[in-house]
Amino acid sequence: MEPEGIALPMTAYPRENSGDMAAFERIMSQSERRVFRVALRLLNNPQDAQDAAQEVFLRLYKHLPSLDETRGYEPWLYRVTVNVCRDIARGRRHSLGLAEVPEPPTPQPDAYHDAERAQQREIVRRGLSRLGGKERAALVLRDVEGLSTREVAGILGSSENTVRSQISTARLKLRDFTGRLLRRRS
């Protein structure tokens, strides 16, 4: 299975007329999975993730004429996604308890959905939802999205040292959580 969103490089989209609907729709179709996925990981709720993605793309449309296409839209989209998710989480004051974490989509019969591996992923996903907002954002961008530390720092508006500290702490916390659950199950 080809991972969605991976084909989109961190390069500029071909620029079309500012505000042009066709260009906007194309950018949205290319990045919607990535934006929605990050929002889902940060908010742990599909409806909230939908709201976040909607807000991100409305902002994209509004700011499209003023964006520097030579720098690509992805950093901007990531930054706005993180900010929008932060606002939504603040506004709704989600407690990220296990009961609120939705179950993953119905598994399909392929190697990816090997039962044991799927269970481990689910534990990691739950552990991710237990992290604080900044640590979770840093870890999602670095380890889930695969961005570099520098890119994450740029998106979060932090220094690279701060991001390293956040992802290090987050990895250790996640390891404690997953290790505890996995040991309990085994």
- The correct pick among 69, 144, 154, 158 for binding other proteins (CB under 8 A) is 144
Nearer to other proteins, 25 or 100 (CB): 25
Q: Does 49 bind other proteins (CB under 8 A)?
A: yes
Q: Does 179 bind other proteins (CB under 8 A)?
A: yes
Q: Does 181 bind other proteins (CB under 8 A)?
A: no
Shortest Å, Cβ 156 to other proteins: 15
Touching other proteins, residues 95-124 (CB under 8 A): 104-105, 108, 112, 117, 120-121, 124
Closest-CA residue to 41 (of 146, 176, 184): 146
The residues, ordered by sequence, that sit 6+ positions from 42 with a Cβ below 8 Å of its Cβ are: 52, 81, 82, 85, 86, 89, 133, 136, 137, 140
First to last CA, the chain: 29
Q: Does 151 bind other proteins (CB under 8 A)?
A: no
CA distance 93 to 181: 26
CA-to-CA separations, 18 to 23, 149, 167, in angstroms, rounded: 8, 31, 37
CB 123 within 8 A of CB 181: yes
Q: DSSP code of 73? A: S
Touching other proteins, residues 7-26 (CB under 8 A): 19, 21, 24-25
Site residues, other proteins (CB under 8 A)? 1, 3-6, 19, 21, 24-25, 28-29, 32-33, 36-37, 40-41, 46, 49-50, 53-54, 57-58, 61-62, 65-66, 104-105, 108, 112, 117, 120-121, 124-125, 128, 139, 142-146, 149, 164-165, 167-169, 171-172, 174-175, 178-179
